[in-house]
Structure formats: C-alpha cells, structure tokens
Structure 1
Amino acid sequence: MVDPKAGGRFGVLLAALAGTAPAAAEDVVTVEAMAADFRYEEPKMEEHGPLFGVRAEWWDRYDTGKAIRVSGGVLAGGTDYDGVTWGGDPVETDTDDAVLWGGIRHGWPSGALEPYLGLGVRYWRQTLNGPGGYDRSHTYFYLPVGLSLGSPQRGPGWGWRARAEYRHLLGGMVVSELSDADPRVEDARNDLNNGLGLHGEVTVSYRDADGPAWNLSLYAEYWDLDRSDYDTIGLPDPVSEPANETTVVGLRAGAAF
C-alpha cells in the first residue's frame, strides 16, 4: 500500500489548506476537453501514444484577497508499448491507459500575479495487452508550488494567462499485478520516495459581452521518478521499479462560467 507517512502528511496538509478558506467573494468554473501526446520511458522500455479526456476547475477569490483552486481530470486511450521481457526478449504490444488527477491549491493574488501552493494526487492505470500482459497502477501524492500570471477572463474581449508549477513527490506506489502473467509469482508493490514533476501552460481566452469565456490552452507536464524501493514476489531476487520519466504535451479547449 501507499506509504502511511505520505498519506498522513497529505491528509494533514489538505485539512490545513481547506481550513484557510473564508467566505467566497467570486468564483469561476471551467470545463474543458483535452487531447495529449503521452510518453513514458524507462531503461529498455517506452510507451507512447495519444490520450483524450476532460478537465474541470473551480476557482474562488475571497473577501480577504486570497484564492482557492480545486481541479481534476482524466485522460484515457491506447498507446504503443515497446520493451523487453524479464528474460530480455523484445516485446511490442499495445496498452490501455487511464490517467486521473486532482488537487487543491491555495493562492495569494497580487494584481496579475498569484503565487500558490497545494496538494495533488495522480493515478495512472495501465493494461498491457497480449500474452503475458498484466495490469499496473502508479499513484503519486505531491506538493505543487507555483506562480500564475493573469486572471480569469471576466469582461468582454481577449485575455491571456500563464502558469508554471513545481511538484515535489511526497510519496507513492506502483502496483504490478504480475500474478496475471505468471500465477507462480506474487504481485509487486513498490514504494516511491523520490521524484519531482513540472507543469506549465499558456491560455488564451475570449468573452463576448454576454456568455462564457472561451479558452484555448497549450500545456506540458513532466515527471522524473527515482528507482523505487524493492519488494519480494516469490522469486530469489526482489524487484523494483526503475527510474523513469513521463512527458505529456497537449491542448485544452473549453469554457469558463
């Protein structure tokens, strides 16, 4: 299971952030469709392909001038898998993938600038198809620290905003259901302790005198994870998840109300 210390830290910080929210003065709800190029790489293995999904966000600025942002989304689709078996034989297959995420961010707006920090969770579920295939899930708990430039589009006309964010991994786990591929072994549960993420986006928006603001965003996300802890699966040697990198580049389009 996920490191209890990481989960505990996540819960305490989430309660603290939620407790800082006074009565809201204004709010903006955004709903968007997404399309992304997804790439995951580790030694001797790569997974790459398009994913599609949706995202929603609620943003509020309070009478005190502080702000809160709650967001979440999902990307899903199929990718091409190019790797090797445990014995070193090449394997090419396809996978079914679903990436879900959510988080809360507490900001301190000052003019067009809004520094913020928060808490986030990311879950990625893979299904490796074909003979010898199995399911694998990745869960990350992380601390986002970032800066937004610009603000939600309220008046008529054009607007823009940008955001840059660093994500510190608090903890996580990779669960590989290896018993699906070989009933003689146990499933692997490898704790994740070290890693980081980066996120950046630029948004252009337009609003008529009446109606919602229409948004178009270009965004990029990057994760760099160190080797996991080891776990025993009924074989002479324990197993671990190797160091790996994930890159997601995509477009979002939707409306803000």
Structure 2
Amino acid sequence: MRRQFYLAATGLALTTPAWGVTTESEFGLTFSQTYYVEPDIMEQRGQLFGVNGTFAQRQNAAVILEVEYSAGWVDYKGSGTMENIPDTLFETRVLLGKDWLAGNGYRVTPYLGLGYRFLTDDSTGMVSSDGSGGYRREQSYVYSPIGIAFTPAPWHTGWRLGATMEYDHFWYGNNLSTISAVCGGTDSYVSQDEGEGARVSLRLYSPRLPNRGRVIFETFYRYWSIADSTSNLVYAPRCHSNPSSEYYYEPHNQSEQFGLRLIWRS
C-alpha cells in the first residue's frame, strides 16, 4: 500500500503544477566567442562582451521575456584579411511555457515563442590586406524557439544544475550590405527564408542567499545555418571587391557562438 501511494504521489508530481503566482528576474554579464562562415567565400572570428536580462511571470503557465545585447570585434578572412571589425548583436525573445514539478527538486518547462536577432558588422572605411574596401552589414532573423528547460524548484536551497535544449525554427531574415560605399550604385538588400538554429546551455545554481537571490554560472552554445537568398538579386557595378559578378546575393552561411555568463537571479 505504501509503495502504491508513493507511485501515485510521484505521478501526480509529474503531471500537476503546484504553486501560485511568482515572478523571477535575472541580470547577467556575458563573454562569448563567435564564428561566422560563408563556405568557400569568407569567415569571421572574434569576441563579444554583453549584458542580458530576463523577466518571467509564472502561475502554472510561464511568460518569459529575454533581452540581450553584446558588442565586440571580429577578424575577417576572405578578400584579403581585416582585423578588429566592430560587431554588435541584439536579441529579444518572448516565450510561453508550462511548468511541471518533476518530483526530484526540479521544475520542467517546455516552451515555444518568437525571437528577433539583429547583427551589425561595420567595416566602413577599413581596407583589407588586398585593397578591398569594407562596408556595413546588417542581418536580421525572425524565428520561433521550441525547447525545454530544467531548473531547480522554487523552494530548493542547495547547489543545483540546470539545462536548456532548444530548436529554432527560422521564419525569414533580411540582409543589408552597404556596397554603394565601395562600388557605387545600389546597396544590397536581400531576404532569406530557409534555415534553422539550435542552442543548449548548462547552468550551476548557487544555494539561495539570505536575500533569497541566487548566483548562476552558465555556459552556452548557439548555432545557425541559413540557406542562400533566393530572391531580390541586386545589380551593382563591378568593383574590386566583386570582380566576377554583377549581382549580389546573400550566400549560405553558418554561425556559432560559445559563451559564459555570470547571472544574478532575484
């Protein structure tokens, strides 16, 4: 009888959320390595430093707002080489999830949502080692995160691990390259509508402090693979940075970001 009761209670814990309205907020500092490649064309590597904030309201269901901003420098290799190109990355996401208690001190939250990612890469006025002129690039993505998060239950006070796994469904993206600064003519503004992304993270939560806050140490990895643009080919005069083609498009590209965060949760 005791065993049956335990199994029933465990099953209930797995299927029944168990607390009222709560709010959570996080503020973090981020350092990351970034790598961007257009196969057989060019690549960039560099470091980004940033801040991030998260606000969540939970009452069985979870509504989560995330905002992140990073800036740094990347080195270019393609038409010659170029160092210390300023980069910025802004991202915001709204997530809707459902909280479940797993019966072992963890909260499990499957979620989905909508995200916006905006990257700038500005080498305007810079010249590569082979004499090619730089220009400003702006890249924006709209996508839907689909994932699951494992976090400590609200009452758990000791050291705990947490993790998140996510697939990102790419809806569309726009790319602006101010090639008129180098070649004259028209800037390149094209769209992409095929691609996918993913991200994973691992967290270490400190014990709850006297003010009920926690310190969190996080490591994360993010990945994007975006297909060639298929429309809006842009005609521009031939110039030294584009000697073999009169039409510009956004080629297939892949990007990776590996980072560390120090987070305060209240």
TM bin, normalised by shorter chain, reads 0.7 to 0.9
Kept in 1, the 8 Å contact 2:111–2:147? The answer is: yes
**Percent identical across equivalent pairs?**
25
2:234 to 232, 235, 240: 232
Equivalence for 1:97: 87
Equivalence for 1:189: 189
Cα deviation code 1:145-187 (max 9, x no counterpart): 001112465543212211001001111100001111222x210
- Verify: 1:242 aligned to 2:242, yes or no: no
- Verify: 1:67 aligned to 2:62, yes or no: yes
Q: In terms of mean alpha carbon deviation, does 67-76 or 147-156 score higher?
A: 147-156
Equivalence for 2:240: none
- C-alpha distance in 2, partners of 1:161/1:54? 20
Look up the equivalent residue of 2:33 and give its one-letter code: D
Equivalence for 2:149: 148
Cα deviation code 1:13-48 (max 9, x no counterpart): xxxxxxxxxxx8111000000000010011221100
Kept in 2, the 8 Å contact 1:157–1:208? The answer is: no
**How many pairs does the alignment contain?**
226
Look up the equivalent residue of 1:41 and give its one-letter code: V
2:72 to 71, 77, 81: 77
Shift in Å at residue 108 of structure 1? Answer: 1.0
Residue 125 to residue 154, structure 1, CA distance change in 2 (3 Å): farther
Shift in Å at residue 237 of structure 1? Answer: 3.6
Shift in Å at residue 234 of structure 1? Answer: 3.3
Equivalence for 2:242: none
Cα deviation code 1:210-243 (max 9, x no counterpart): 3420010000000000001342233484221110
- C-alpha distance in 1, partners of 2:84/2:214? 38
Aligned ranges for residues 109-148 of structure 1 at < 5 Å? 109-111=99-101, 112-129=107-124, 130-131=126-127, 132-148=133-149
TM-score (norm 2): 0.81
Cα deviation code 1:35-83 (max 9, x no counterpart): 0001001122110011100000011211xx1111110101101111111
Equivalence for 1:223: 224
Equivalence for 1:171: 172
Is there any run of 5+ residues in structure 2 with no aligned partner, and where? 1-19, 102-106, 128-132, 238-244
Q: Looking at CA atoms only, which structure, 1 or 2, has the larger radius of gyration?
A: 2
Look up the equivalent residue of 2:42 and give its one-letter code: M
- C-alpha distance in 2, partners of 1:109/1:168? 22
The two structures, once aligned, show a CA RMSD in angstroms of: 1.6
Shift in Å at residue 248 of structure 1? Answer: 0.1
Residue 120 to residue 152, structure 1, CA distance change in 2 (3 Å): farther
Task: Classify the secondary structure of the residue corresponding to 1:117.
Answer: strand
Task: Classify the secondary structure of the residue corresponding to 1:120.
Answer: strand
- C-alpha distance in 1, partners of 2:34/2:197? 15
Task: Classify the secondary structure of the residue corresponding to 1:208.
Answer: coil
- C-alpha distance in 2, partners of 1:250/1:242? 26
Equivalence for 1:41: 37
